[in-house]
Amino acid sequence: MTTGEPRSAYVHVPFCRHRCGYCDFTLVAGRDDLIESYLAALDRELDSVAGPMELDTLFLGGGTPTHLSPAQLGRLFELLLARFRPASGAEFSVEANPADVTDERVAVLADAGVNRVSLGVQSFDDAILKALERDHDAATVQIAVERLRRRFENISVDLIFAVPGQSISLWKDTLQRAIELRPAHVSTYGLTVEKGTAFWSRRQKGLLPSLPDDLEREMYAAAMDELAAAGLEQYEISNFARPGFACRHNEVYWTGKPYLAFGPGAASFVNGVRTTNHRSVTTWIKRVLAGESPVMESERLPPEDAARERLVIGLRRTAGVDLSQFAVETGFSVDQLAAEPIQLHVAAGLLERTPTHLRLTCEGRFLSDSVTVDLL
């Protein structure tokens, strides 16, 4: 497997104004009283870094990093930049909520060296935003992008489709309005209802209908067609970018490279071992401030299982899996792992095999989950 020193790091900032009904991420809402303790604990956890460590990518996700006040954001960046030194040309990303994008926060981000902002837009239809329990409206998105544009070229927008009450025309309108903002990057996700979320409870009670599969497929097809026509190339199942603006941090995950991670629920991958911190924000804070390990679980997959995981994750990229590189880095050829299902899916038109690569076809992207299950 891929080894070497990590040149990427993820930092989880677990605070939000409120929890949206579909969200199953590690976060707390309405607990701003914990922010100072979180920063103190993060400072302690970061002491494990023999810094300053040079990084090619640094990504702050959540939660909502921009929920922190400008002063708290500034403190967060001080802690990080004392341990990490972004290399020349490094990608430094922060997730942001449109409702939090003030001129003051934008200045704090830019002055810290952030050069990529991922904006949680989700929709441009106010009724759909309300259905998703978002705390912004379409007008707020426009203002946020205008503010960000003054300091950032690399702006990404996240969109959600297959929302109850959403028609294909509403979704196409959201795509067009996103395109009009001229983002460098767009992520599109079909709504998934995870166990433990408020949406899951509502669906179990029959209060949250699912959209028909054929409508969800039509929405995904529209995203692929319209974003490509606007110059945003699909480089991964859910992600589209203008040339040169693919998310380099996420590419680290998809290509099996090592990375560090800090904060509650954060998972790192170093020397073939994946370690995951406690998901409870308060437990993570208490453990770290007590000088105890924040790690909840640690796992080294057997070589064959690790290779299968690498194959499945690699197929998310439209470029697919480089066959010779895969064999060198995992010790297994794809045929050793899954010759028969690969042949079946190639015959069915869901996988394409060239002399150098294995990749999902366009049709295969619609059925990627069923293809990858067969490869595991």
* Residue in the structure block whose two tokens are 């290509």: 255
Q: Torsion-angle region of residue 315: left (phi > 0), alpha (psi -120 to 50) or beta?
A: alpha
> What average pLDDT score do residues 346-374 get?
94
- Mean pLDDT score of the chain: 93
Q: Does the pLDDT at position 2 exceed 70?
A: no
Of 103-107, 191-195, 222-226, the range with the lowest mean pLDDT is 191-195
Q: State pLDDT tens for residues 328-337.
A: 999 999 999 9
Residue 3 confidence (pLDDT) = 56
Non-local CB neighbours of 243 within 8 Å, separated by 6+ positions: 233
Largest CA distance in the chain: 58
Non-local CB neighbours of 121 within 8 Å, separated by 6+ positions: 98, 141, 157, 158, 159, 178
Q: Does the pLDDT at position 137 exceed 50?
A: yes
> What average pLDDT score do residues 181-192 get?
94
> What average pLDDT score do residues 203-232 get?
91
Indicate whether this model's pTM tops 0.85: yes
Bigger pLDDT: 30 or 347? 347
Question: What domains lie within the chain, and their CATH numbers?
Answer: 8-254 (3.20.20.70), 303-375 (1.10.10.920)
Q: State pLDDT tens for residues 99-109.
A: 999 999 999 99
Report the distance separating Cα 296 and Cα 280, nearest Å.
10
> What average pLDDT score do residues 286-295 get?
97
Q: State pLDDT tens for residues 229-247.
A: 999 999 999 999 999 999 9
- Confidence tier at 27 by pLDDT (50, 70, 90): confident
